[in-house]
């Protein structure tokens, strides 16, 4: 993902055009799962709400490491995959 594009989107309060459910696991689906666990659609909405430019990720896997919920409590995530196969279909993939 191009961070410049995400940064611009975060400032503009962009709404998704459509949404579908994930069919199979991928790195992107894993990170969406993590954002959605913390109560956000995805990285774009997280950056809008929290007014941050960066999300902390594990350098080894690129998966999201830590997110702040809307009530300001923190969610911490493992370095390895957390989204089980039976959870994949619950993950919403937003298209902008």
The pLDDT, as a whole number, for residue 69 is 96
Please report which confidence band the pLDDT of residue 25 belongs to, taking 50, 70 and 90 as the band edges: very high
Please report which confidence band the pLDDT of residue 92 belongs to, taking 50, 70 and 90 as the band edges: very high
Helix, strand or coil for residue 46?
Answer: helix
Q: Write out the two tokens for 12.
A: 């503009």
Domain ranges in the chain are 18-95
- Residue that the structure tokens 């994930």 belong to: 22
Q: What is the mean pLDDT of residues 17-29?
A: 97
The answer, as to whether pTM is greater than 0.75, is yes
DSSP class per residue in 32-80: HHHHHHTT-SSHHHHHHHHT-S--EE-TTT--EEEEE-TTS-EEE--SS
**Per-residue pLDDT tens digits for 37-86:** 999 999 999 999 999 999 999 999 999 999 999 999 999 999 999 999 99
- Residue that the structure tokens 């490491």 belong to: 65
Question: Is residue 92 a contact partner of residue 19, using CB atoms and an 8 Å limit?
Answer: yes
């Amino acid at each position: 993902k191009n961070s410049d594009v995400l940064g611009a989107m975060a400032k503009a309060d962009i709404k998704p055009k459509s949404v579908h459910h994930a069919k199979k696991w991928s790195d992107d689906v894993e990170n969406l799962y993590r954002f959605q666990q913390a109560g956000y659609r995805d990285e774009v909405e997280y950056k809008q709400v929290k007014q941050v430019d960066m999300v902390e990720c594990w350098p080894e896997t690129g998966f999201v490491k830590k997110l702040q919920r809307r009530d300001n409590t923190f969610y911490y995530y493992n370095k390895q995959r957390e989204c089980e196969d039976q959870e994949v279909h619950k993950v919403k993939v937003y298209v902008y």
